[in-house]
Amino acid sequence: MTDLSAPPRVVFLDRATLSPHIRLRPLPFDHQMQTYERSSPAEIAQRICDAEIVVTNKAPITAQDLAQAPRLRMIAVAATGTDNIDLHACAARGIVVSHIRGYALNTVPEHTFALIFALRRSLVAYREAVRKGRWLASGQFCFFDFPIRDLKGSTLGIVGAGALGQATAAIGRALGLRVLFAAHGNRASGDDDYVPLDTLLAQSDIVSLHCPLTPDTRHLIDATAFSRMTRRPLLINTARGGLVDEAALVDALKSGQISGAGFDVVSEEPLPAQHPFQAILGHPGFILTPHVAWASDEAMQALADQLIDNIAAFHAGQPRHVVKPD
């Protein structure tokens, strides 16, 4: 029988998703902590069965898992995205879900522009060519195997006008880019910078995704969307892999519908051996990084600090950063 007078049991399902040198402050209340480096979907129900608070970054928590956790009162998500949590099932059971806000305002936009600069100036392609001896073989002080484009005067189309999209826009404007936002439903501001998605796709030289993954945004960028990208833009995705039909992206890159793609996310992580992106990992116009746009030391420490603050606030009866189902 469970001892209801015992200190609350806190279970961290995937501590390895935070760098080991990132400090996690102790929780400011008496508790029992169980930490797992990682948890497979098959292990989760058993690991949370007697927990009151569960911490997860990417480990999924389903309605079936929740049904096995009668004491669970809070899920603290160590990330902004909550698409790995069944929010409707949590709401039905009165479980508070808190997530992290505002910690990545520098790191994600900076990573976005690192991808943009690298692709517009073909940095990875030139580095590989030098490594393979192409510079020596050229017989002169430089060679021009890959395109090099300035950013100033180009149009940056941003899908997602939240904090990360706005921070990305600010950098873009500072670099002399024209910025467009995709108008979302009836929420367009009336500003000329907000245009229908089809217009944004047609007018942009760079398209950058900064929106959440929901049923409405899954495969938002598909074969039809690629066909509307008349300026052969770069496509940058530092948000969620499921926003893009990845097989359609491979076709678009190979056919020249887009000039390049920089992704930090895929629909299944880590990248499976049979994933469509395996066919373009060596393409000079494609860069894939392993979901690290969020992971500067500074941002990760801010996330860890906010995670502890969220749990402490909940325990004090003042939950914050609560996420509810749409």
Q: Which of the residues are catalytic?
A: 240, 269, 291
CA-to-CA dists, residue 130 to 122, 134, 135, 147, 282, angstroms: 12, 5, 5, 15, 15
CA 111 – CA 97 distance, rounded (Å): 28
CA-to-CA dists, residue 200 to 4, 68, 239, 260, angstroms: 56, 46, 18, 17
Place of tokens 């021009």: 144
CB atoms within 10 A of CB 29: 12
Q: Are 284 and 254 in contact (CB under 8 A)?
A: no
Which residues, in sequence order, are bridge partners of residue 262? 236, 287
The runs of H, that is alpha helices, within 70-122 are: 87-92, 107-120
Q: Are 90 and 97 in contact (CB under 8 A)?
A: yes
Q: For residue 67, which phi and psi values (nearest 5 degrees)?
A: -65, -20
Q: Are 205 and 231 in contact (CB under 8 A)?
A: yes
The DSSP code for 136 is H
CA 53 distance to own-chain centroid: 24
Query: And the tokens for 91?
Result: 């709401």
The DSSP code for 75 is E
Q: For residue 10, which phi and psi values (nearest 5 degrees)?
A: -110, 130
